[in-house]
Structure 1
Amino acid sequence: MSREAAEAVLTRIGQGTDADFPLFEAALACALHDDPDRDPAPALVLAREAGERLAERLQSESPEEAVAEALAGDLRLSGDVTTYDHPDNADVIAIARRRLGLPVGLGIFYLHAARTAGLALHGIDFPGHFLLRIESEAGPLALDPFGEGRVVLPVELSRRALRTGLMPDVAARLDLLMAPVTDRAVLIRLQNNIFARAQQAQDWPRAERSALRRALLNPADHRPWLDVAAAREGQGALAGALQALAQAQTLDGGATIAARAARERVRLRLN
């Protein structure tokens, strides 16, 4: 798949509804958009095996046990604790090859397997560390894909929330800490991770690609275009940065002040 073809896929998916959002297809298109010169077959095979293994284990195990045993036990998916910031950890093709990744990158395989097996599993936009929510007989449980799918107890959730800087009254609210998010939001969070790491490394082409993917996946949001503009400015592509800022202003009047100031700064650099 070429980069242009991947953009076409992401455009189509972005224009669809949250209810019909094809998470794994979109994640694979994101990976190929970042680096088209790769074979997606290993990721497709792993995704299929994950659904099959989970369906088998659900016949004799509780949902939370089946998820952990199928994805982390059978298929050896685990968090990369030694090279956490490596770009491969946020790419489903590379994750399939290495069996290592970031929490949200691993979570995409967990969520896809659950969708295939008919299991209710959702992402949690937990601060600082992506988690999964699964329904059990005792109520909702949090699972950590980075920690081999293990259950995170409520007291540990609150402790982690406090470490991220949340106020104690918020950190004690499990209904807030475990609020489910859409699959679209999960994939956008992954692209945000990629953008942040690329920006820190001043890898502006990669930063631009990740920001553009966010813009395609959520076409009503002006904020990705501000990041596209920043990445283009980092590359010296000032005319392209102005185009992205204009798109941000078109999408949301609330972006007008920030985009106008940025456009004026870029315009002055052009003169």
Structure 2
Amino acid sequence: MNEDLNRLGLVEEDDIDLDEAALSLALLDHPGTDLDPYYDLLDTIEARLEIVGDDAHDPAARADALAAVLAGEFGFVGDAETYDDPDNADLIRVLDRRRGLPVSLSILWVATARRLGWSADLLDVPGHVLVLIGADADPVIVDPFSAGIRVDRERLVALVQAFGEPDRAVTHVAAMPNRAVLVRLLQNQASRAEQAGKGRRTLELYTRMTVMAPETVHAWWERARLELVDNDIAAARGSLGAILEITRDPALRTRVSETLASLPTE
């Protein structure tokens, strides 16, 4: 397992730089690739934003500056034509193609904003990912997949209700912690790999999640499921045991314990 991935699993949450972390994850699938040109591109984008956003002192102006630079000058937009292309969740390929998924583009927007010390977070919206610019004073929500268009309250409610529970009142959407963002990125890759019938690839991606974010119960469960498909009973026992060390949820603990008891003895 890559040393950078192990390190990412140990670093403090607030010390994770999303763009650098996402590049490290992408590098696992592009061994030997020189990342210097990609860091240079990120530095160039930062420099342009610093100029364009020089007098942007409120969230609305900063959102406009981000859109002008990332979507306008550098051409980063959502890939609506080949949405399920695995390249859309691979930051190396996103930087090459200037196309991506909502989560990969939002990582780029948030990381670029944070480079200038601006407040920015990814918003976990059912079926989509948005970006929140600003925190306390008149924050602005934008959609990087759609070149940074503003998302007002009505549009946000429509998105949540379209992919969530129709009868459930919309009270708030939550900002995603850094590790959860990276798990979401890998989850996009894993779901597409499994849909394509690539079981080993899917298992590798869930394994990466458990190394990078060892408290993510869902990743351990999916890893155990795929290890059982692979008939690797010992590995599945280890993954299920990890869940018991993490969760205090009684129902989940019962389910995991029953699954462990049903496994054949070695």
2:126–2:164 contact (8 Å) kept in structure 1: no
CA distance in 2, matches of 1:169, 1:259: 30
Q: 2:217 aligns with which of 217, 222, 236?
A: 222
Corresponding position: 1:257 with 2:254: yes
- Root-mean-square deviation (CA, aligned residues, Å) is 2.3
Alpha-carbon separation, structure 2, partners of 1:118 and 1:45: 19
Shift of the alpha carbon at 1:137?
9.7
Runs of 4+ residues deviating >6 angstroms: none
* Distance in 2, Cα, partners of 1:261 & 1:165: 31
Q: More displaced, 224-233 or 248-257? A: 248-257
Please tell me the residue identity of whatever aligns with 1:40: L
SS of residue matched to 2:128: coil
Paired letter, 2:95: A
Match of residue 38, structure 2, among 28, 43, 53? 43
Once residues 25 and 65 of structure 1 are traced to their aligned partners in structure 2, the CA distance between those partners, rounded to angstroms, is: 24
Give the alignment's TM-score, normalised by structure 1. Answer: 0.86
Question: 1:17-71 CA deviation, whole Å, 9 max, x = no partner?
Answer: 2222222222122112234253333432332222222111111452111010111
Q: CA deviation at 1:210?
A: 1.9
Aligned residues: 260
Q: Any idea what the Cα deviations from partners look like across 1:69-122, whole Å, max 9, x if unmatched?
A: 111111111100011011110010110111111010111111111111111111
Of 22, 28, 31, 1:27 maps to: 22
8 Å Cα contact 1:23-1:112 kept in structure 2: yes
Match of 1:160 in 2: 159
Q: What is the aligned partner in structure 1 of residue 242 from structure 2?
A: 247
Unaligned runs of 5+ in 1: none
Most deviating of 256-265 and 108-117: 256-265
Matched letter for residue 4 of structure 2:
V
Is the partner of 1:240 in helix, strand or coil? Answer: helix
Correspondence 1:1-271 to 2 at 5 A: 4=1, 6=2, 8-61=3-56, 62-135=61-134, 139-167=138-166, 170-171=169-170, 173=171, 176-177=172-173, 179-254=174-249, 255-265=252-262, 267-268=263-264
Say if 2:119 and 2:135, in contact at 8 Å, map to a contact too. no
CA deviation map 1:178-237 (0-9, x unaligned): x32222221121122222222222212221222122212222333321111222233343
Instruction: Structure 2 unaligned segments of length 5 or more: list them.
Output: none
Distance in 1 (alpha carbons) for counterparts of 2:120 and 2:233: 43
* 8 Å CA contact 1:64, 1:136 repeated in 2: no
